[in-house]
Amino acid sequence: MGYQKFLLPILKPDGTAAWPEMFPTNKIEDLRKTVGEHHFMSQMMLQFTPLEKVRLDPGKIQLYECEFNPITAKIGDWPVTGATAYWDPSLGHKNTDASVCAIIFRDDKSHNVFIHDISYMVVPNECPQPLTYQCDLVLAFLDKYDLHRLAVETNGLGNALPEILNDKIAARGGGITVQKITNHTKKESRILNTLEPLLGAGRMFAHNRIQKTPFMSEMLGWSPIGGIGHDDGLDAVAGAINVLPIPIRPHGSTARFYTANTNFRI
């Protein structure tokens, strides 16, 4: 009893900085883009938003139709510095959790993320070895984009996959590294904290083919409190974004020719 509550949001009601010497407006906008609108409003503006009201807006994704060009290391005019393939596995049967492999490209300078392709794998119910069946599909998916490292979520069912994958890779002559990923944070938190800041900052891009997958509908029906629809594609993309990418550099640099000076005396 007798206490007073003092709140000082980072922005005043008129939109100017409350502490311009420490947090000028340009730094505040950079901060908003970095942490995302939900975190910014709750932590910096002290306006709590109940989680059940938080949504992901697929309308904020910027679509493109260009393929990745390894010669220039670009997607259209956007530079690319890294790529990741991430597999969030399940048995893959119909009407169960989806088994999803996501491939993303990214640019470390602009922090743009490009969801380039997503494979939702379906295993026939009569298949005697569903994990082995999926390993073949995933390796073919990586071959399509000439990627040589695969991150696999090993929580639960995925614990058996690295061994099966490595046997498959060895039979093909090698060339692909399998990275084990064990997640310890709640899935809903991973999705929200990874995707929401990118959407809010306009830094999430997706190839047009992503619209033909369940990814967009997953985003529309998703809630951070869980229990609403499927989120397997969202989880795979969030996992891919959080994994250290394979570095990418242009392959087509113009060759330099040098002429030696032979006009010398010994």
Mean pLDDT of 168-187: 94
pLDDT at 50: 65
pLDDT at 230: 85
101 vs 151: CA distance, rounded Å: 9
* CB-based contact 72:252 (threshold 8 Å): yes
pLDDT at 12: 79
pTM for the full model? 0.82
* CB-based contact 232:97 (threshold 8 Å): yes
Asked if the model's pLDDT at residue 163 lies above 90, the reply is yes
57, 62, 59, 56: which is closest to 75 by C-alpha? 62
Asked if the model's pLDDT at residue 22 lies above 90, the reply is no
Q: How many helices (H) and strands (E) does the chain have?
A: 7, 11
Domains of the chain with CATH codes: 9-49 (no CATH), 53-247 (3.30.420.280)
pLDDT per residue as tens digits for the range 65-90: 999 999 999 999 999 999 999 999 99
Sign of CA dihedral 162, 195, 52, 230: negative
Phi, psi of 87 (to 5 degrees): -115, 120
Phi, psi of 46 (to 5 degrees): 60, 35
pLDDT at 255: 45
* CB-based contact 224:54 (threshold 8 Å): yes
* CB-based contact 197:29 (threshold 8 Å): no
Read off the DSSP letter of residue 160. Answer: G
pLDDT at 95: 76
Instruction: Identify the bridge partners of residue 151 per DSSP, sorted by sequence position.
Output: 86, 179
Which contiguous run of DSSP H or E holds residue 199? helix 187-201
pLDDT per residue as tens digits for the range 218-248: 999 898 887 667 899 999 999 999 999 999 9
Mean pLDDT of 156-183: 93
